[in-house]
């Protein structure tokens, strides 16, 4: 079946998959202890697939599973130029949310790959998944040779750094597996020392609830520590990636057009968007999944972090409106911060 594997690799390149790897559908037993511990300790994000057995046993997802095909689609970490002058101060979405939602991109590429494989072999059976699926994408990618898992928990390759979206096809094909890469973090701890909330444990695991990416996506009011440390971030966090030496000099090409105005939106207009306006403008990006209320709460915090005193009238209006208690409390907090900074001067 070597020829079939070569054909699949060639197809993946044709359809814009950055890197592809193959591994067996054997269980990922070594993950069970850490997954159960994170669940018991409450240090997982809560967004993960809840059935741990299904996360580590591919054959529970596809009975005749033999080979898992892991794919990576690289994404850019450098934003197209913003206008030099802005009317308002801006917040930002993490690089994983620039352009069209990566779930859409990966799903489309895996569907095209599956269709082409089905043309090459009879009785092709498969199950596709992205990060909303059961398997641990990073574990699959590591075993399939896409890259190693860094101390920040992300898969890192020499070609694309950690700026890769991951997905996999569990298949009934018998294909020669690839080997894991022969490089890693070594003694480097840049991501650990750079993490502003000490979320990384140093062994590729983390306290996900301390990660700013989680905090910017969770509902309700945030603890003050996270409000301040999110700085200008509206969604996600790139700090551990920016700190990683493997990402120095990486210039991955975008799969879709990136609108800088969506990646770095002006804060005050963003806070005033209606549901209809938010959906019309932001619905295609990954960060929109959480909805405007959480993201607008973050934008209110950011106004205080960037010391935007021009926002005081808007914040006073929100603070006086009890229709959204989370926004009301956030606005009052931001007002207190802005006024306190004004007094200090």
Q: What is the pTM of this model?
A: 0.91
Does 322 lie in the same domain as 257? yes
Q: Is 252 found in the same domain as 118? A: no
Question: Do 212 and 326 reside in the same domain of the chain?
Answer: yes
Do 55 and 194 belong together in one domain?
no
As a whole-number percent, the residues of the chain with pLDDT over 90 amount to 84
Span 271-297, average pLDDT: 96
Together in a domain, 128 and 224? no
Instruction: Let me know if residue 180 belongs to a domain.
Output: no
Rg of the chain over CA atoms, in angstroms? 22
Q: Is residue 82 part of a domain?
A: no
140 and 37: one domain?
A: yes
Residue 85 lies in a domain: no
**List of E strands, the chain:** 19-24, 67-74, 92-93, 126-129, 148-149, 155-156, 164-171, 233-235
In a domain, 333, yes or no: yes
Shared domain for 157 and 61, answered yes or no, is yes
Q: Based on the fold, state whether residues 7 and 146 are members of the same structural domain.
A: yes
pLDDT tens readout for residues 152-177: 999 999 999 999 999 999 999 999 99
Greater pLDDT, 258 or 48: 258
Of the chain, the percentage scoring pLDDT greater than 70 comes to 98
Query: What confidence category does residue 2 fall into, taking pLDDT thresholds of 50, 70 and 90?
Result: low
pLDDT at 344: 66
Q: Describe the chain by its helix, strand, coil percentages, rounded to 5.
A: 45, 10, 45
Asked if 132 and 212 sit in the same domain, the reply is: no
In terms of domains, do 136 and 197 share one? Answer: no
Q: How many domains does the chain have?
A: 2
The whole domain housing 267 covers: 190-344
pLDDT tens for 48-62 read: 777 889 999 999 999
Last residue of a domain, one of 144, 171, 198: 171
Query: Mean pLDDT for the chain?
Result: 94
Q: Are residues 136 and 215 in the same domain?
A: no
Q: Do 157 and 263 belong to one domain?
A: no
Judge contact between 199 and 208, C-beta under 8 A.
yes
Q: Which residues are catalytic?
A: 131
Mean pLDDT across 130-152: 94
């Amino acid at each position: 079946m070597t020829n079939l594997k070569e054909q699949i690799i060639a197809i993946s390149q044709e359809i814009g998959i950055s890197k592809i790897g193959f591994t067996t559908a054997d269980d990922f037993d070594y993950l069970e202890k850490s997954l159960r511990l994170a669940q018991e300790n409450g240090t997982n994000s809560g967004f993960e697939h809840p059935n741990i057995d299904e996360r580590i046993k591919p054959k529970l997802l596809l009975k005749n599973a033999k080979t898992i095909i892991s794919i990576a689609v690289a994404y850019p970490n450098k934003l197209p130029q913003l206008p030099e002058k802005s009317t308002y101060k801006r917040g930002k979405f993490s690089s994983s949310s620039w352009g069209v939602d990566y779930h859409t991109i990966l799903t489309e590429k895996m569907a095209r790959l599956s269709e082409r494989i089905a043309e090459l072999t009879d009785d092709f059976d498969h199950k596709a998944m992205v990060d909303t699926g059961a398997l641990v994408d990073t574990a699959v990618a590591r075993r399939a040779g896409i890259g190693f898992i860094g101390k920040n928990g992300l898969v890192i390759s020499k070609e694309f750094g950690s700026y890769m979206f991951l997905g996999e096809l569990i298949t009934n094909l018998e294909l020669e597996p690839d080997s894991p890469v022969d490089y890693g973090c070594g003694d480097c701890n840049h991501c650990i020392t750079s993490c502003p909330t000490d979320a990384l444990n140093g062994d590729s695991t983390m306290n996900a609830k301390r990660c700013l990416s989680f905090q910017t996506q969770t509902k309700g009011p945030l603890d003050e520590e996270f409000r301040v440390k999110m700085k200008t971030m509206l969604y996600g966090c790139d700090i551990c990636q920016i700190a990683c030496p493997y990402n120095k000099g990486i210039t991955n090409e975008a799969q879709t057009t990136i609108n800088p105005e969506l990646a770095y939106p002006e804060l005050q207009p963003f806070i005033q968007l209606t549901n209809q306006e938010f959906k019309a403008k932001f619905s295609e990006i990954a960060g929109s999944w959480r909805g405007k209320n959480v993201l607008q709460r973050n934008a209110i915090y950011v106004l205080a972090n960037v010391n935007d005193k021009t926002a005081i009238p808007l914040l006073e209006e929100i603070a006086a409106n009890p229709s959204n208690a989370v926004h009301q409390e956030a606005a009052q907090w931001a007002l207190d911060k802005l006024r306190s900074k004004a007094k200090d001067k």
